[in-house]
Amino acid sequence: MTSVLLICGSLQKVSSNRALLDVVRTRFTELRIETAESVDVGSVPAFNVDRAETPGSVVVDFRAQLVHSDAVVLSSPEYAAAIPGALKNALDWIVGSAELYTKPVAVLSAGTTGGEHARRQLIRSLTWQGAHVVAHLGVAAPRTKSDQAGRIVDPATIDEIEDLVDRILLALNGPAKELVEQTLAWAGVGVEHIAPARLPEA
């Protein structure tokens, strides 16, 4: 069964980024696609190259979740024009182990101005890890698009998230090159950085 891993970059209990992922989860569930929530990025120890082979159980679980997933959706706040340190730290653990290599990934950011810097930074860094970033979406002023419990209720935002899910489905079902090129063009990342698809096993 197809499985999509959801990664939240926010550690806040009531989080707009988690609320976006809730909409993503609902949509995939309607489409009978399994989703799983990744380990809490706040529980991942500080990255240390010396420990790359013996990283401890949280990182081992995180890597296993990524191996098991067919696609990944990340939603992250933007802090001072960058992604949170906890999220970057978690992603640093998988550069060498390469679980994201050629995997379809979508990036969202809910934040005051829609997390444009956070998205550009994520798209660049994930591409450097070999991920195929096929979609991105910024949601500005997310609290104005939520109900009192923090759930996203704005129909236009829900439509945009469903469009993002559609792009992931396209990537899962066929060549993703055009989707990746569009995403990288927005982020100002050269297409020469797109990881070539793995060759079929001999």
List residues near ligand FMN by CB under 6 A.
10, 12, 15-17, 77-81, 110-113, 115, 142
C-alpha gyration radius of the chain: 16
CA dist 186 and 166 (Å) reads 19
Supply 76's token pair.
């992250």
Nearer of residues 64 and 81 to ligand FMN, judged by Cβ: 81
CB of 161 to ligand FMN, least distance (A): 15
Least distance to ligand FMN from the beta carbon of 17, Å?
Answer: 3
Q: How far is the CB of 142 from ligand FMN (least distance, A)?
A: 5
The least CB distance from residue 144 to ligand FMN, in Å, is 11
CB-wise, 146 or 194, nearer to ligand FMN?
146
Rounded to an integer, what distance in angstroms lies between the CA atom of residue 193 and that of residue 182? Answer: 13
Q: Which pair of structure tokens corresponds to residue 31?
A: 């489409």
Q: Is the dihedral of CA 182, 32, 24, 152 positive or negative?
A: positive
Which residue lies nearer to ligand FMN by CB, 46 or 81? 81
The distance of closest approach from Cβ of residue 138 to ligand FMN in the complex, given in angstroms and rounded to an integer, is 9
For residues 151 and 193, which CB has a smaller minimum distance to ligand FMN in the complex?
Answer: 151
Residue 139 pairs with which residues in a beta bridge? 110
Q: Which is nearer to ligand FMN, 111 or 130 (CB)?
A: 111
Helix axis angle, 116-128 relative to 177-187, nearest 10°?
130
First to last CA, the chain: 24
Gap between the Cα atoms of 139 and 107, Å rounded? 11
